[in-house]
C-alpha cells in the first residue's frame, strides 16, 4: 500500500470496465490495448490483441521516491553482493533513464517516431486523439501510472483498465 503514502503522485485517471473492454477486444479496429507488465508476466497470459510495452519496475519507482522525498542517500548493505549490486543497478537506471528515454518504457515508446514504433511493436503508433487507447497491468497500479504518463504526453482519451489482467483472467476462466 506504498502508493497511499503519496496520493498526489497518482492522479485519478480515466478508467474502462471489464464489460466495456470485453465489448471492444477483437471487435473494434480502433482499440489499442497496451500491456505494461513485464515480459515474464505476459508470458503467463495476456488479453488478446494487447501489445507489450513494459513499465519500469515498481522497485525503481520506490527507490526514486525515497531519494527524492527524503533527500537522504540510500545505503544498501547485505551479505549477498548480488542484492547490493542489483540496487546500485536500479539506482543507476533511474537516473540514466531520466536522461535518455528507454524504448522499453511507455514514455519512450509513445515518444518514438511512428515508423520506429510500427517496426518495434507491429502496430501503428496511436495518435494523440486515439479514441480507444487502453493501458493495463496485473492489478491496476502500473496501468494507472502509464495512463497518467500518456495524458501528460497529450493522449487525451487514454484510459486505464483498473481491473487489470487479474480481473480479466478470472472472468475469462484463465
Q: Which residue has the cell 471489464?
A: 18
Residue 51: name the closest of 111, 108, 109 by CA.
Answer: 109
Local structure of 80: helix, strand or coil: coil
Catalytic residue among 77, 81, 85, 137: 137
Beta-strand runs (E) in 28-165:
31-35, 51-52, 132-136, 159-160
**How many residues does the structure list for the chain?**
174
137: annotated active-site residue: yes
Active site residues: 137
Amino acid at each position: 500500500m506504498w502508493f497511499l503514502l503519496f496520493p498526489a503522485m497518482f492522479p485519478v485517471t480515466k478508467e474502462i470496465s471489464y464489460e466495456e473492454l470485453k465489448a471492444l477486444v477483437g471487435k473494434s479496429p480502433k482499440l489499442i490495448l497496451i500491456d505494461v507488465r513485464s515480459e515474464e508476466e505476459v508470458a503467463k497470459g495476456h488479453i488478446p490483441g494487447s501489445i507489450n510495452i513494459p513499465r519500469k519496475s515498481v522497485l525503481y519507482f520506490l527507490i526514486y521516491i525515497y531519494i527524492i522525498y527524503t533527500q537522504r542517500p540510500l545505503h544498501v548493505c547485505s551479505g549477498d553482493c548480488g542484492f547490493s549490486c542489483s540496487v546500485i543497478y536500479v539506482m543507476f537506471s533511474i537516473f540514466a533513464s531520466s536522461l535518455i528515454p528507454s524504448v522499453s518504457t511507455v514514455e519512450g515508446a509513445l515518444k518514438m517516431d511512428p515508423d520506429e514504433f510500427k517496426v518495434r511493436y507491429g502496430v501503428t503508433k496511436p495518435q494523440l486523439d486515439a479514441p480507444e487507447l487502453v493501458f493495463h497491468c496485473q492489478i491496476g497500479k502500473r496501468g494507472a501510472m502509464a495512463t497518467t504518463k500518456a495524458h501528460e504526453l497529450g493522449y487525451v482519451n487514454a484510459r486505464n483498465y483498473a481491473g487489470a489482467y487479474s480481473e480479466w483472467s478470472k472472468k475469462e476462466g484463465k
